[in-house]
Amino acid sequence: MARTVTTAAARRALPAARIGSNALVALVSRLLFAQAGASAAVSIGYSRRNVHSVLVAVLIAVVICGLAGLVRSGGHVAWLVAVSFESGFVAAGLFRFAYFRYLGGTLLALITLGTLLHPAVARAFAGWRRDTEHSAVAGAVLAGDRAS
């Protein structure tokens, strides 16, 4: 009877861990898309409306959208790239704020970077290691290899 409870618990635990990590990855991706839209809207709205300002705003929005697409994969490398790019966006935004009093998309970049650095989100992006270990244990339990 105890083995049946353990087997049922192992079956229920695997999808729950994947659903939680997928939700966090989707949250970060949506934040990045929101950051791209907000950054472009603010930049175009407050720019001097010359060609260079508009092109830079659109280019930054396209880069952030590409980063959001990369983050959708949920891999650890995608998380590292996202943290690196967001750190650069925050640094550039704080520099612009200090010298030009222009905030742009810096607030949303700070929020996104804080979300990426949250331990639960970092675990979600590194979850493939934990899932493989958990799957091996669950497979052993299901096969009856583990003594109870």
Give the span between the Cα atoms of 144 and 146, in whole angstroms: 6
What is the pLDDT, as a whole number, of residue 10? 46
What is the pLDDT, as a whole number, of residue 42? 83
Q: Where are the domains of the chain?
A: 20-143
Give the span between the Cα atoms of 3 and 142, in whole angstroms: 9
pLDDT tens, per residue, the chain with 148 residues: 444 444 554 445 544 445 567 888 999 999 999 989 988 888 888 777 788 888 988 999 999 999 999 999 888 999 999 999 999 989 988 888 888 777 767 888 888 999 999 998 988 888 654 444 444 554 555 455 545 4
Q: Is the pTM of this model over 0.75?
A: no
Indicate the residue type of 6.
T
CA dihedral 125, 130, 131, 137 (to 10 degrees): 180
Give the span between the Cα atoms of 73 and 125, in whole angstroms: 9
Residues constituting the chain: 148
